[in-house]
Each structure stands twice: as C-alpha cells, then as structure tokens.
Chain A
C-alpha cells in the first residue's frame, strides 16, 4: 500500500510541487526588475555573464590556501552527487523508463567509490558548517535541514542499491519525494539560482571590462 502511494500519487505530487515550485522560484526573481544601466559599456555584458558562469566553477587561486576544505569537500560532494544522480544504474533505468532516453551507467565499484567520496564531502561541509565560527554564525535551520535531507536521500539510495531490497527502494524514493517538495522553498534552490546570480555579476563586471 505504502509502496503504491510512493510510486504513484506521492511521486506525482512531489514532481508537480518541485516543477512548479522551481519555476515559480526562478520567475519570482523577476518580480522586481533591474533598473536600466545608462553607463557606456567598456566590454560585453553577455560575454561577462557567460564567462562568470564558467569561471566560478573554479576557485580563485588567491584564495586556495584559505579555503582548501571548502574546495575539496565542495567538489567531492557536488561532483559525487551529480555522478550518483545521473549515472547510478537504477537512476539511468528510471530516467530511461520516464523519458525513453538511456545512457551507460557507472559500474558498481565506481558507484561505491563515488558514494563514499560524496558522503565524505557532505559530512566535511556540514562539520565545517557547525564548527567554523563564520558558517556557524551564518547558518540557519534551512541550511541544516537541507544538509540532513540530502544526507538521508543519499544514505537510503546507497542502502537500496547495496541491499537490493524492495522496502529500501521505496524508502529511498519516499525520501527523494520529501526532498523534492522541500527543494523549491529552501536554500537548495541554489542549484538553479547560481546561474542567474553568476550571470548578473558577470554581466555587471563585464560591462566594466573586468572578468568576474
């Protein structure tokens, strides 16, 4: 019964909330428009926007020595999560069933390594959040909830794949649905919002001839 709900109506609700919520979140930033910039540009705003979106995937060399943990843990977690989401075998099958598009999944051993590295990254980031005076000062309930929910989703996902037990698969999918419902109303929206943020900043600096 619970499995039917999770695979059926719960999934549909989560998908709609996620889709409409994310769309609303993105569109809502345009409720209050930017004022026109009347200054004579020195460089291209468009090139700046694109450039900043690409450049900000890499840390500034000047800051590497002060942000090693952020960099290592950040890459481990985000790249790991990306790989797990799109290349874990059950996910590839799921996407294929939903869209008809399939691709080669990562082998089981790669999944195990990726999952461990991603967990390590997430835990390091969260420990840093709790321990470091700056992140401790900045962090609120949303930051912790987002981290905990993501951790649970990853954990149940690993358990489901390793255990190959139907109950674990249902549990994983249920936690994914919870995350999807929470996502649009939380800081997890940065997964989409970083693109316009980088673009605005890149364009602004780009007009001034500075690579941001």
Chain B
C-alpha cells in the first residue's frame, strides 16, 4: 500500500462516526441527490452526483466496516480503495462540489451528503490530492493570516480610506468592546465599503465594537481544504484575539462559509465551547432592528431580490433575518424561485473560488443561478456574502447580465440609515 493511500485511509478512518455509518447503511442509490446538485443539472455528467463523490469513503466503509465487505476483501473478491481512486476523486470533490448542501435537503432517507463530502476531503487532503490553488491559499492563511495574502498593512490602509470617506474613527484593538468584528480577505480587497458601512451603522446604533490587529480573518481555508488541524489552528487565532481584547461577541462578516465555520464548527475543531457568542452581521443588524435601535429612512424602489449564501442560510439558519431587514428598505422586493433553504449556490463556495482550475466549470454551473434570475429578472440582487458577490459578479459578467446590480445588504442598510437614531 502506498504512503499516500495509507495517509488518506487513516484520515478517513478518523472521520468515521455514527452518522457516517448510518448514512452508508441507508443509501439506496436512488440518485435523487443528483437532481438537486448544480454540477449535475448544468453539466448532465452523472459523475457529479453528490453521493458518488463520497465513493472513496464508501469503499473504505464497505471493506472495513461491513460483513460482506470484510469477507470479500479478505478473499480478494472486492475492489479495494486505491490511490488511483483518491487521485480520480480530487476533481469531483474539490472542483465539482461547493458544499452547498442542497443535496442534503432532498435525500429521502435523510443523508447529509455534504457532511460526508467534507470527510472525504480530509482523506484527499491528507493524501496530498488537493488543488494547488487551495493548498497555496491554506499556506497563506497559516503564514500570513489571510488566504489572499491580505496583511495588517493592507487592512490599515483600507481602514484609513474608509475613515476618510465616512468621517468616522474605526476602532482597532479596543479592549472590552462588546463586539469583535472579523472580515474576509475578499471583503477587505473587493468591498472595503463594508467596513465603512459598519462604522456608520454601529455609530448610529451605539454598538461598541473593535477590530483586532492580531487576527482579523474570518474565513478558514482548513475547512475548505479538508484539513481539521489547520482549521483548528486558524480558529485558535480568533479565540486568542477575542480573549486578549476581552470581547463578549464576535461578528462574522458577510461571508457564509466564515459564519458556518466560526459559529458552528469552530467549537468542535478546538474541542470546547467558544468563550464568546458568534453572530452573523445580518443577525446582529436584525437584532438591532428588533430592539428599535436600527432605523432607516427612504427606500430603494428598484425590484430587488436576495441570493441566500448557502452556508449562512441552509447550513447556518440565517434565512428570515435578511428578509426582515430588506423589508425596511426594499418595498419592491421579489423572491427568486427556489430560495431560502433550497436556494441555488453561486457556484463558488466550499473553496471552489480559490481553485483556479475549477473556473470554467464554475462559470458553466452558474447557469442554475442564471435560470433563477431570468425567471424574475430583478434590477438588483442583494446578498450577504462577499464570496458569493464575487462569484455573482463573474457569472453576470460572463452571461452579459449587466442590467442586474449587485448589492451587499449591510451597505444597503447603511445607505438608508437614520444617523441620529443611536
């Protein structure tokens, strides 16, 4: 057995749990999951069937955890998991799955397929079968603190620009602040006005907040790569920064993946509850709205719609809050068909956006989102994830859908803020 295979198998064995065993024992190979997956519906390639992407883990389960599998393996009658299998599944798992979990919502026997694909990634990553773009992003995340190589200097420069534009002081390293705000690198680099919008909203609503110069990155490449050790290292940095500043709450920015990771997965990576509460920025804005602290004036009369980031909505439960916020400022809001917990992915989640090799496929499967948009043809599409926003920009550009404006929900709210409400 090759070293790579041994490492991959060991990593996947470590991922076996009651859930996986139960899922493996209940799958009837009905193929319904394929019909929920944008990689299958848009390419027609059966290999993109979600449960098929789990095949390396299923082979391991069968040969080591089942009666017939063990018997057949001992008699040399079954096809064992090979290094070639791992190599062949790299593209299917990393390029052909955004971990959007739409498949997990439709399986008649209730299998959370995305949960198992995440486990297959652990095996592939350990065996060295991961896309170069994602591996490099992981290295930058560990070494620099940002998968895109965004440094503190870059953040400082961005903050200075935003302070100038808003006329507000953006707090850095304020000990005892109520909220520590994290950002995704994509946000800092691509949508810096998000930071200025936060400053405006928090000033108006009287929220005490800060940014940490020690660690400000919200995304976690360890999760996208399938490397729990790296994921835990990056989570510990957030915990350390929050503990040093003695904050009670940590804000996940407009990034679905970052939210799911820090809100739901982080405690499990480090094996203990987090010493602070985590809220998605949209959750916090909605809380402020309900408390009567967030007030808006004027409306955007365009026909706006909302793209649910898969991780924030389907895997994070942030579905109602953005709609309640949009109701404040968007009287002509129109839902996309198949929305909320069944929304179609932008095509770039789960690390696909960091994997340049997958770009042609990503743009191809954007057809699912295009179909959704064509059905109602909104004038503006609001979202709450900077990665989705980048992917939507690419997709709209590729399909020459220049008439649809992309908006971040925090900026939209900030644009209609009643400044003296705080």
Contacts and interface: CB of A to CB of B under 8 A. Distances in A.
A126 B85 CA distance: 28
Contacts of A30: 18, 21
A53, A140, A197: residue with the most chain B Cβ atoms closer than 10 Å: A197
Interface of A: 25, 28-40, 42-43, 52-53, 56, 59-60, 62-63, 66-67, 70, 74, 129, 132-140, 143, 185, 187, 189-190, 193-194, 196-202, 204-205, 208-212
B341 interface: yes
B32 A63 contact: yes
Given A30-B18, A56-B107, 12 more contacts: A35-B17, A36-B268, A67-B32, A67-B35, A70-B31, A132-B31, A138-B49, A143-B29, A200-B19, A205-B315, A210-B319, A210-B341
B389 to A, nearest CB: 23
A187 B27 contact: yes
B190 interface: no
Contacts of A56: 107-110
Nearest to B272: A38
Contacts of A42: 317
A190 B26 CA distance: 4
Interface of B: 16-23, 25-32, 34-36, 40-41, 46-47, 49, 51-52, 65-68, 104-112, 115, 263-268, 271-274, 277, 313-317, 319, 338, 341-342
Contacts of B111: 197, 201
Given A134-B34, A193-B26, A201 B112 contact: yes
Contacts of A53: 110
A35 B109 contact: no
A32 B67 CA distance: 16
Contact of A200 (B22, B49, B272): B22
B264 A135 contact: no
B110 A198 contact: yes
Contacts of B21: 28-32
Nearest to B318: A209
10 contacts: A28-B65, A29-B18, A52-B110, A59-B108, A70-B30, A135-B31, A193-B26, A201-B104, A210-B315, A212-B104
Contacts of A189: 25-26
Nearest to A206: B317
Contacts of A52: 110
A47 B101 CA distance: 20
B32 A34 contact: no
A74 B22 CA distance: 21
A187 B24 CA distance: 9
The 10 closest A-B CB pairs, nearest first, are A198-B110, A209-B317, A38-B267, A193-B26, A29-B21, A134-B31, A138-B29, A194-B109, A66-B35, A133-B46
A212 B110 contact: yes
A32 B24 CA distance: 13
Contacts of B319: 210
A190 B277 CA distance: 39
In the complex, which of the residues A37, A53, A135, A140 has the most CB atoms of chain B within 10 Å of its own CB atom?
A135
Contacts of B274: 38-40
A200 B51 CA distance: 17
Contacts of B47: 137
B35 A32 contact: no
B99 to A, nearest CB: 14
Contacts of B31: 70, 132, 134-135, 138
Given A197-B111, A210-B314, A138 B52 contact: yes
Contacts of A198: 109-110
B67 to A, nearest CB: 5
B18 A202 contact: no
A143 B17 contact: no
A188 to B, nearest CB: 9
Nearest to A211: B341
Contact of A32 (B18, B265, B313): B18
A138 to B, nearest CB: 4
B71 to A, nearest CB: 9
A85 B210 CA distance: 65
Contacts of B34: 134
A14 to B, nearest CB: 17
A134 B26 contact: no
A185 B314 CA distance: 34
A32 B268 CA distance: 17
B46 A200 contact: no
